[in-house]
Chains A and B, each alone.
Chain A
Amino acid sequence: MSANRRLAVTLGVIWVVASLVGLFIISVLPFPPAHASDTATSISNTLRLLTYLAWPIFSGVITGIVGSMLIGRRDPNARPASHDRIRGNPRLAGLWVGVIGFAVLLLAVFGTLTLTNEEAADALGLAGRGTSGTSVGSSPDNTDIEVQVIAQQWQFTYRYPAYGGMESAHLVLPADARVTFHITSLDVTHSFWFPAIGVKADAVPNNDNVFSTRVAVMGTYRIQCSELCGLWHGSMDDNSAQIVSGSDFSTWAKQQQAADAPVMQYLPPYSHTYVPLPAAYGT
């Protein structure tokens, strides 16, 4: 067996072992953002899948660099050997490009299928299926509840169109319902990030960014702004977002409507047109 082949086989064995050990570890690792919605589940699965794909290539490159250098190393002062004269290997380079290209294609095809397939796209929340301008776009047909998320420096306000446009400073959602968020902003660009349900969508003034997902697991969660929006960007968060049972939600909504009633009688009913006019650019 030639020295080249011996080294290749040694590295191959190390690579297979490293890959298998790594793949096992990946299979038992918990991947965020967990399972509070079908979007979150789908993101966790994709993260795990990508890690499965990435690890063998990563460990292969590391094994190649470290192994060929250390295991195959010769005395720095040795005389040049015949293989030193090899200036490249087009077939090997072609094979390499082919393998990496295949992995990339796999990734892109899988990703594109996810984005274009209706069901899977539903699970991924459809961020971006919105309208530009001042009117609020439509929600997917199977939506159970719509929530308009209105960002401003430095807080989020939640409007519930089905409840007469009632507003709340804290997000409350019913479990086991398909929620469609309509995300917009009154001033600068913000981003609505609800990690537990895998929702992240920019809040851009004059734009309706739509994100739809089925929320599942009840609990109290954290929401924060994830696009730099000025001084108190870091404090634009809320630790008391809640996903509650359907009946608890109705109770809460009734209470909230009653509490808001004195104010709401003076306000126009919920409108699908929204015209934010920041004072600085008025007149």
Chain B
Amino acid sequence: MATMTAAPQRRRLSHTVVQWGIVLGIVGAVVGFWVGALIGDRVVPADANSNNSNAALIVAYIGSAIGFLAGMGFFQYPIGRLLGRPRPTEADEAFLYGEDGGKRRYFRLNLDHKVIGVQYLVVILFFLFAGGLGAMFIRAELMATQPSFTSAESYLEIVGLHSVLMIFMASAAIIGPFGNYFVPIMIGSRGMAFPRLEALTFWLLPPAALILISSVLVGGFPTGWTGYAPLADEAVRGMDAYLVAFGLVGLSICLSGLNMIATVISQRAPGLRMTQLSVLVWGVFVTSFLGLLAAPVLLVVLVMEMLDRIGRATFFVPAAGGSPFLWENLFWFFGHPEVYIFIIPAFGLILEMLPVFARKPIWGYRVALGGMIGVGVLSFFVWQHHLFVSGIAPSLRPFYMFSTEAISIPTSIIFLVAIGTLWRCRARFTVPMLFVLGFMFNFLIGGFTGVFLSDVPTDFSLHASYFVQAHFHYTIMGAEVFALVGGITYYLPRITGHELNERVGKIQFWVMFIGFNGTFLSLLAVGILGMPRRVVSYDISLQGLNISASLFSFVLGASMLAFLVMLVYDTIVKPRLPRSANPWESLGNEWRLPHPIPVHNFTALPTDWRLPYDYDRDDTHPALRGAGAPFPGLAE
């Protein structure tokens, strides 16, 4: 960056690779640690407490993230613009968009939304399988009523890691890969509104993951993903990693929301109306508002907790005038919209796939949009259902009970749309279709168990028990991850030009479905019978059901592993080509582009837009014969 004029621009930009990110990340960490230690010494007298090491760690983590982003080249453009240097040349831009092709473009700062979608997919799968490893560990340990092959300490660390990794996964599982990859294409745009911002939302995730996982080096964090204070105030230093890592992901959620909203509003092809957009786009669009509005609250509350830990700000320490309720309210004000950030894009993806395999137009398109918007709006008014037994004023409870129950009205619309679309349809039971149906079943159970928790009287019994745990695993694992696996199967031919083995895929689905339901039906029962969450030891009377849950969970784990093996085998080891360019005979606009999709998607302004669900067309339509119906005017 120092010698702007001498070196050719191209060479300078080629420094923006992961290696440089890692090097500067380490530099940033060292500098941050030193600065943080200085701050810590000033803020907290050395004899009082060891809190100065918290300051050092927190600043080191933040420094490493900034260093990493600098190494990736994120600051070259804004700093260059700030100093009045010339804009990037066309060759620079071409390089930034990865027009040189090849695999290396996935390992550096790349502004092509399709590359970012693939980057997201890989990192999401990493979160899913790393978190899943933790789940296997937890279930293995819980086969015994007392700590058997682990200590209470490492058990708690694993619970924390599993939960936060999975929250990271779920926050972007649909919106990250499919939102980034397909939203610009589905709205007829050459890219996102803010391509650099889009790349940033992705590149915040790798440092977040590394920082989070590094927490095991300093004792892990004992709070699970909810980070309740004042337990977080007294926790060991691993807590700092949780605060910074979650903060980076919160930033990513917020910025991605901003970018998606701007993109859908301003980048649509001329003549493409909001009511002609795919339901997937609408799912992403609605979710983006939740991310933009809720994630900043998370950032605030995390910074408050950092100040508590660095400088004894005591926001959450009652003995010094703070309040644990402050954390609970702020955290859940983010936390409840957050769970709909998980599921609304999945609604979109599921309703996107349903007409393709029902071979019928989507039934009640506008009703479906209303359902998603309704869920999104209501999600901001329900957060205190997490506090029913906390000791809040009883007069607040009826409202939150009502608002929470009211969310089932827009949610139920998704099922109505599904029934309407499936009504006397020409269903094709392909692998993605099985996952759509699995989603429906699992999410229905997730929804009904939610009603039991929303009712104040029954919540007195079920709150913070395994019933809650099973409930949200039904919605996240049973619904969102089923949508993710179905979505990967569905979109793989479009993204990489590969197809997964259908017969293996069907077996994999059924094993996953049975393993999942076996596990979490057992855990629903365990919860009703009185087992609290996050315990390493429990009453012997509950051991039978716990063993049942564990055995089924191993089946589930094996099925997930089989999916991963199949994914690697069919794309990398022995690439499996699809039957045709449009193997599902989908009318989706994303299937009307040539393969591979050009870097900027469209060479000419695409026209001929329509709601892509006209499966009632005459069978002579080329798309229905699997040939694809390219946009008029687009070169093959």
The interface of chain A, by Cβ under 8 A from chain B, is 3-4, 7, 32-33, 39, 42-43, 46-47, 50, 54, 57-58, 61-62, 64-65, 68-69, 72-81, 83-90, 92-93, 96-97, 100-101, 104, 107-108, 111-112, 114-116, 121, 124-130, 183, 187-189, 191, 193, 195, 198-202, 204-209, 222, 224-235, 237, 239, 276-278, 280-281
A127 x B437 contact (CB < 8 A): no
Do A189 and B460 touch (CB < 8 A)?
no
The contact of A65 among B402, B437, B457, B460, by CB within 8 Å, is B437
Q: Say yes or no: A50 contacts B231, CB within 8 Å.
A: no
B597 is an interface residue with CB less than 8 A from chain A: no
Residue from the list B222, B314, B325, B391 in contact with A127, Cβ < 8 A: B391
Instruction: Name the interface residues of B615-631: CB closer than 8 Å to any CB of A.
Output: 615-619
Query: Once the chains bind, are A227 and B405 in contact (CB under 8 Å)?
Result: no
Q: Is the beta-carbon distance between A127 and B389 smaller than 8 angstroms?
A: yes
Are A69 and B425 closer than 8 Å at their CB atoms?
A: yes
**Contact, CB under 8 Å: B533 / A206:** no
Q: Would you call B419 an interface residue if the criterion is a C-beta within 8 Å of the partner chain's C-beta atoms?
A: yes
Other-chain residue from A7, A88, A128 in contact with B367 (beta carbon distance below 8 A): A88
Interface residues of B in 509-552 (CB under 8 A from A): 528-530, 532-539
Let me know if A80 and B423 touch, CB within 8 A: no
- B460-A43 in contact (CB<8A): yes
Of the A-B pairs whose beta carbons lie under 8 Å apart in the complex, a sample of 10, sorted by A's number, is A4-B424, A43-B460, A100-B409, A193-B464, A200-B389, A204-B391, A207-B318, A230-B222, A231-B153, A234-B536
A193 to B539, CA, bound (A): 14
Q: Are B363 and A88 in contact (CB under 8 A)?
A: yes
Residues of A within 8 A of B494 (CB): none
Partner of B364, one of A93, A222, A277: A93
In contact, B425 and A74 (Cβ under 8 angstroms): yes
Pair A281/B457 contact, Cβ less than 8 Å:
no
Asked whether, in the complex, the Cβ of B444 is within 8 Å of the Cβ of A224, the reply is no
Taken together as a complex, chains A and B put the C-alpha atoms of A100 and B367 apart, in Å, by 15
A225 surroundings in chain B (CB, below 8 A): 532
Stretch at the interface among B104-112, B265-273, B393-401, B587-595: B393-401
Judging by beta carbons under 8 Å apart, are B230 and A193 in contact?
no
A222 to B319 alpha-carbon distance, docked (Å): 31
**B223 in contact with A204 (CB, 8 Å):** no
Q: A206-B318, A231-B152 are in contact. Are A88 and B364 (CB under 8 A)?
A: yes
The 10 closest A-B pairs by CB, nearest first: A234-B535, A206-B318, A72-B424, A209-B391, A84-B616, A226-B532, A88-B364, A64-B419, A195-B530, A108-B402
B584 CB to closest chain A CB (Å) equals 12
Complex CA–CA separation, A76 to B358 (angstroms):
8
Q: A74-B425, A97-B409 are in contact. Are A46 and B324 (CB under 8 A)?
A: no
**Is B398's CB under 8 angstroms from A108's CB?**
yes
Contact of A112 among B360, B402, B437, B528 (CB under 8 A): B402
Task: Produce 1/0 per residue, B278-318, CB < 8 A to A.
Answer: 00000000000000000000000000000000001010011
Interface hit among B177-185, B448-456, B554-562:
B448-456
Which chain B positions have C-beta within 8 A of A112?
398, 401-402
Flag if B391 contacts A47 (CB, 8 Å): no
A198 near B616: Cβ-Cβ < 8 Å: no
Query: Which residue on chain B has the smallest CB distance to residue A192?
Result: B389
**In contact, A187 and B616 (Cβ under 8 angstroms):** no
**Chain A, interface SS category:** mixed
Distance to closest chain A CB from B89 (angstroms): 50
> Interface size class for chain B?
35 or more
User: Residue of A at shortest CB range from B415?
Assistant: A61
A233 to B415, CA, bound (A): 40
A74 touches B419 (CB 8 A): no
Known: A87-B361, A233-B535. A3 touches B424 (CB 8 A): yes
B572 at the interface (CB under 8 A from A): no
| Chain B 358-372: CB-based contact to A (< 8 A → 1; otherwise 0) | 111111111100000
Pair A229/B231 contact, Cβ less than 8 Å: yes
Chain A residues within an 8 Å CB radius of B419: 61, 64-65, 68
Q: Which of A199, A227, A234, A277 touches B464 (beta carbons < 8 Å)?
A: A227
Q: Name the interface residues of B314-353: CB closer than 8 Å to any CB of A.
A: 314, 317-320, 323-325
Q: In the assembly, what is the distance between CA of A209 and CA of B324, in Å?
A: 14
| CB contact list, B374-417 vs A, under 8 A | 388-394, 397-398, 401-402, 405-406, 408-409, 412-413, 415-416
Whose C-beta in chain B lies nearest to the C-beta of A101? B409
Asked if A78 contacts B426 (CB within 8 A), the reply is yes
Provided the pairs A188-B234, A228-B231, A234-B538 are in contact, do residues A54 and B451 lie with their beta carbons within 8 angstroms?
yes
State the CA gap A124–B459 with chains docked (Å).
Answer: 11
Bound-complex Cα distance A209 to B367 (A): 44
B20 proximity list for chain A (CB < 8 A): none
Are the CB atoms of A228 and B392 closer together than 8 Å? no
Q: Check B420 for interface membership: any CB of A closer than 8 A.
A: yes
Contacting pair B427 A88 (CB below 8 A): no
Q: Are A280 and B389 in contact (CB under 8 A)?
A: no
Point out the residues of chain B lying under 8 angstroms from A233, CB to CB.
156, 534-535
Q: Are B425 and A73 in contact (CB under 8 A)?
A: yes
**CA A94 – CA B280 in complex, angstroms?**
24
Cβ distance B158 to chain A, nearest Cβ, rounded Å:
13
Known pairs A76-B426, A87-B361; A195 contacts B461 (CB<8 A): yes
Min CB distance A126 to B, Å, is 7
The smallest C-beta distance from A59 to any residue of chain B, in angstroms, reads: 10
B532 touches A108 (CB 8 A): no
CB <8 Å contact, A111 and B455:
yes
Most buried by A among B362, B391, B405: B391
Are A234 and B529 within 8 A (Cβ)? no
B458 interface residue per 8 A CB criterion: yes
